[in-house]
Amino acid sequence: MKSSIKHLVIYLTLTVVFSSCGNGWKNYISTSIDKELGEQAQNQYDLMYKNEILDENKNKLLYDKINLIKERILKSGKVKHADEFNWELKIINDSVLNAFCLPGGKIYIFTGLINYLDNEAQLAGVMGHEIAHADNRHSIDNMAKQVGLSALISLIFGDGNGLINFAQNIIGLKFSRNNEADADKSAINYLYETEYDASEANGFFNKLLKDNEKEEVSEFLSTHPSSENRKEKMLLYWKELGGKKGEKFETNYKTIKSLIPKNND
């Protein structure tokens, strides 16, 4: 009985705190929620793409090279949860132009995206953007807005089934324009502290705008906010930081592309 009363008091207290402090919930909800949520969602994605996820042992050099990009970003000093989340990479051998990062740091990259880009700095920009969604806890933020504070708090004190249900909602989750703008800015911040050319973080959008009549590009643009607007804002922010030039690593990127197995390999 005392335990129930204690939980009720905490529940009511957190509801008041969350209601009065906007995104201040991030100071009260442990990142262990992000990590467990990401693991639950990862189980579902691994099952969904079980035939397309490249085996790391059989594709060690490809994984090593893309993991190196990931590590450069994490060591930029700008990723808040660099040492806290388990930043695990999985490569999906599919022509789709996409990449995403689940809460807690589970990163998925499609070979279609790798083949589409021109250099390593562009891929680093996309990876930085996806890492930022996890680092800035955008999935939890969206859940707080979509299901309400009561459901989010129930998740904390629940029996674990709530996490599984929430994880199912991660699939197909669309981030808000504010979330996307936040991730764009974070990607520039990450790359600016590395040897990569941070201005290439918007290189993906430059390509999309040039190729907007291609079917796979049109599909991507239909589910993402205005690339033109985002491209200009990213470039402006890079200039505000000082406009420092960096490396694109074009030659090394050709090697990365050559390591992608053909569908019949």
Cα separation, 104 vs 51, in Å, equals 24
Instruction: Name all contacts of 205-209 with Cβ < 8 Å and 24+ positions apart.
Output: 205/230, 205/231, 205/234, 206/231, 207/116, 207/117, 207/118, 207/122
pLDDT (tens place) for every residue of the chain, 265 residues total? 344 444 433 443 444 444 444 555 566 678 888 898 888 889 989 999 999 999 999 999 999 999 999 999 999 999 999 999 999 999 999 998 889 999 999 999 999 999 999 999 999 999 999 999 999 999 887 777 766 656 666 665 555 555 556 666 666 667 888 899 999 999 999 999 999 999 999 888 788 777 766 666 655 655 565 566 888 899 999 999 999 999 999 999 999 999 999 875 5
Q: In what order do the strands lie in the sheet with 99-102?
A: 88-92, 106-110, 99-102
DSSP readout, 85-101?
A: S--EEEEE-SS---EEE
Q: Does an H or E element contain 106, and which?
A: strand 106-110
